[in-house]
Amino acid sequence: MNPDQTLTVERVKHYLSITEKARDKATPLASTPEQKLMLKTLLSMADDYAHDAQYFLKQGELIRAFGAINYAHAWIDAGVKLRLLDGHGDDVLFTLP
């Protein structure tokens, strides 16, 4: 089996770490009440999925953990893409606008 196609605890932890870095790096740009509410929703979804990923990892459910952490990162990335979060020019962690 190709090692790039193997889902392991270490690989899931690696992606958890990447998403944690993205969450820490992205800073709010939202200025209007509507934007702030949208950002709050985006970040809440990201945090909920990251929490779910940790739970699934502890349960040994690697596929579900991997899926959840990717959803978490996507919510953060969406915030950057929509210019509700500043990705600080990091085109490795984020899809920049």
Q: Where are the domains of the chain?
A: 8-86
pLDDT tens digit sequence for 36-82: 999 999 999 999 999 999 999 999 999 999 999 999 999 999 999 99
pLDDT reading at 3 higher than 60: no
DSSP annotation of 94 reads S
Looking at domain 8-86, which CATH architecture does it have? Up-down Bundle (1.20)
**pTM of the model as a whole:** 0.91
